[in-house]
Structure 1
Amino acid sequence: MTRTDSTAPKLDEDDPIKVLFDMASYWATIWGLIAICLWLEHEVLKRLDIESASVRVAILLVSTPAIFLATVTRIQKNPKARLILERARYVVILVAAALLGAYLHANHKDDSYENALRDGAVLSCLKMASCKAAATEYANTR
């Protein structure tokens, strides 16, 4: 009897790293789709010149879940779209990691002792004219 199942090696579903990555990528993809739906609807509402913020919020609260569910239903029915979404999970995780890294880099506060020494040296050097001149000359020749 011939076997019809795939001969590709199967990953162990008990691997906690794989399970964690799968959960994170699915949820990040879902929230990414919701964010895209909200953004697109917001752009449409801006172009329709709806002035009232409460009307905008009401429309967004009603239409976003409807659009999201319609999109998910169509993705589930189309195998090619499902494959694209499975592959897009990795891109979503990479984008989320890049955004998190950029945010952490922008908001990083270095409270180390070396940083305090550097700041103190810069502030004290600004008070001495000869030190400031030497630092400026060093910076200009570098």
Structure 2
Amino acid sequence: MPLRSLALRVFCLLGLSVWMGGFTFYSAVVIPVLHESLGSLDTGFVTQEVTDYLNYIGVGVVLVWWAAAWVERGEGPARVRAVRLLFLAATTLILLGLIALHRVMDGRLETGSLRGFYPLHRAYLIASTVQWIVNLALMTALLVPSRLPEKGS
């Protein structure tokens, strides 16, 4: 494997680890503590800012992944590259949807009215969870060797 591909893969894994790790830790640990300490509305304002940063990190990570896909476009088995591209396209589309949905939810929070907020929030949580699973699959697909053994070997 060329050094540039190895370096890009390391950056891909590190980036995805930071993004997924941040999301997982915030969701599993920070949000419950905030709810106990601040209540729902104040937790929403903190989460509003944190998710902006998580989305910024996500944009940077998917850009690195797309760069790696471009650099490795002719390397390895076509079916492995196709699976990686499928997962990468899925996480990119989900991220764009989450960013758009986040702006709508921000508007609801800024007006002080939570009317219609919770169905949007539920959709955001579901999409984020699906994205987390897709990212796990993407990470796994990156770890598939560039050269698979041929059948019968």
Same fold? TM cut 0.5: no
Q: Which has the higher contact order (CA 8 A, sep 6+)?
A: 2
Larger Rg: 1
Give me the TM-score of the superposition, normalised by structure 2: 0.28
TM-score (norm: length of structure 1): 0.30
Structure having the higher helix fraction is 2
